[in-house]
Structure 1
Amino acid sequence: MSRVAAAIDRAKSEGRGAFVGYLPLGFPDLQTSIDAAVTLAESGADILELGPPYSDPVMDGTVIQEATQAALAGGFRLRDTFTAVREIAKRTDVPILVMTYINPVLQYGVDRYADDLLAAGGAGLITPDITPEAAEDWIAASKRTGLDRVFLAAPTSTDERLDLIVKSSTGFVYTISTMGITGERAELDAAARTLVARLRDHGVEHACVGIGISNAEQVAGVLDYADGAIVGTALVRALREGGLDGLAETARALAAGTVTGPASGN
């Protein structure tokens, strides 16, 4: 049973959509990033999305890029991912997904990475830069270990590609609301609603929308048609500017937008 899917279903049973919160590991330092993830979980996140810093974060906006570059400058190493996940998992039952580009996984060894993530208490991977047909080794490793594999769907995805993404993903499908890098948007692209509807047509069980969500109103708007809302930049900025207290305040405000009511069709 997918821990991530179970968390989404649990939120739904409580009349809410799921709140997926992203933070970079190692920012502003490793221990604070561990404390920040726990704070996020305690402040309303149903699922944690944690990003090990990467030297070429092609999908990330300025706020996240600056945070990840600071983490790398501070000495973060790939093995620190498993240390962080292990410490966070000891302090919260909220499932932990690692959002990683595929190259570090390949360099580490796909099976070794899966085994170490499972041993640390992680729930799975979000892999933004690899498609299911190119991820045979990771799919096999995730099936062996029971880890979730979250692939991305974009408004430009063909129906054939969406069908493959739905069949290959577990936990949820990461639904990109706008094309381009992550960051806050004043208004979410209406393409997200259309994309989720297309995913429903292909049988998706859980679709969570990310990229561009920065306040409770936008969270509520997304949860009118999706199963979860993914927030990153707003949380990273809150941590950078307000520390753990600022992060907690922002997370609670975002979580307030998740209430959809028992009659919701999400």
Structure 2
Amino acid sequence: MTSGVHVRDSVVGLDGQAGRREPLLGAFSVAGFPDLGRSVDAFVSYAEGGASMLEVGAPSANPWLDGPAIAAAHRCALRGGDGVRVTLETVRRVSARCDTPVVVMSYWSTVQSLGLRRMAGELASSGAAGCLVPDVPPERLEEWVAAAAEAGISAPLLANRQASYDELSVTGRAATGFVYAPAAAGQRTGYSAGIDLDGLAAFVRSLRHAAPATAVLTGIGVSTPELAAAVVGLEVVDGVEVGSPLVSALADGGLHGAVGLVEEFAASITRSRGR
């Protein structure tokens, strides 16, 4: 059994557990930001601060889904060398230091350039539990999910807020681990102008109807601990993922401030479920 399989089995423990009561907090940063050593320290500290999943962004030259803060982190990380190499080394070091599941977020161009099976296999060998690819072409979806399964890692997918019911059904049923539902429709990461909570709830209910066994996490627009609590308090999602606030805190105030923010997010979502 590879390390990837072992971690995925404990992962997020989300497959088949949609609607679980204990909310999950995913903490995102870019591999190699601000440099390899401090990147690893940040992820490990986020786990110690209450994150129940670590999302490692693979540095990309075209992070189209990301706003200014994370895009700047991608540029910084790429100055440290090849994005895939930095990602694999980050995952390897983080997995060696903590048991918190690590899910890589990679754009399709990176996966395709390395090769689907090779990418999935190397991620599994490094200790990753899964790989979220937000822009898998529909015609390659089955191939990518199969490659991930063969390697023993999960293949979470992004649910488009503008998708038809049939498209949501395909995404929800194909995804393994979880499906990522943007909290703010039509926005990039770092959006902080508020969330239409009723609209998010309606979208997630539609997604669950299409794929009832698939767990749902949300992010993009979850900019404060208070908003995270409000989102989790809807009791339609299984957890939230936080990225831009942590990346900005790490860039502006260093690790101490970023870890403090993780602790605030963790406490807020726990309180929101009455625990």
What TM-score, normalized by structure 2, do the two folds share? 0.88
Q: Secondary structure at the match of 1:179?
A: coil
Q: Does 1:179 align with 2:191?
A: no
- Aligned twin of 2:10: 3
Q: Which amino acid aligns with 2:253?
A: G
Residue 210 in structure 1 maps to residue 222 in structure 2: no
Match of 1:32 in 2: 38
Root mean square deviation of aligned Cα: 2.1
* 1:212 aligned partner, one-letter code: G
**Which runs of no fewer than 5 residues in structure 2 stay unpaired?**
1-7
The 4+ residue runs of structure 1 with deviation greater than 2 A are: 1-5, 7-10, 73-77, 131-137, 260-263
Q: Deviations over 1:19-56 (max 9, x none)?
A: 01110111110111111111111111111111011001
Which string of whole-angstrom CA distances, capped at 9 and with x for unpartnered residues, describes residues 173-205 of structure 1? 100122121113231133321111101212143
> Do structure 1's residue 247 and structure 2's residue 258 form an aligned pair?
yes
Question: TM-score when scaled to structure 1?
Answer: 0.91
Aligned 8 A contact 2:117 2:147 in 1: yes
Matches within 5 A, 1:106-255: 106-177=112-183, 178-190=185-197, 191-202=199-210, 203-223=212-232, 224=234, 225-255=236-266
CA distance in structure 1 between the partners assigned to 2:137 and 2:81 by the alignment: 30
Between the aligned partners of 1:2 and 1:171, the Cα distance in structure 2 is 10
Secondary structure of 2:119's match?
helix
User: How many residues in Structure 1 have an aligned counterpart in Structure 2?
Assistant: 261
Match of 1:66 among 59, 67, 72: 72
**Percent of aligned pairs with the same residue?**
34
2:159–2:182 CA contact under 8 A, matched in 1: yes
User: What displacement does 1:72 show?
Assistant: 1.3
DSSP-derived class of the 2:13 partner: helix
- Identify the range of structure 1 (92-101 vs 125-134) with the bigger mean alpha-carbon deviation: 125-134
Q: What are structure 1's unaligned runs of at least 5 residues?
A: none
- In structure 2, the residue corresponding to 1:6 is in which secondary structure? coil
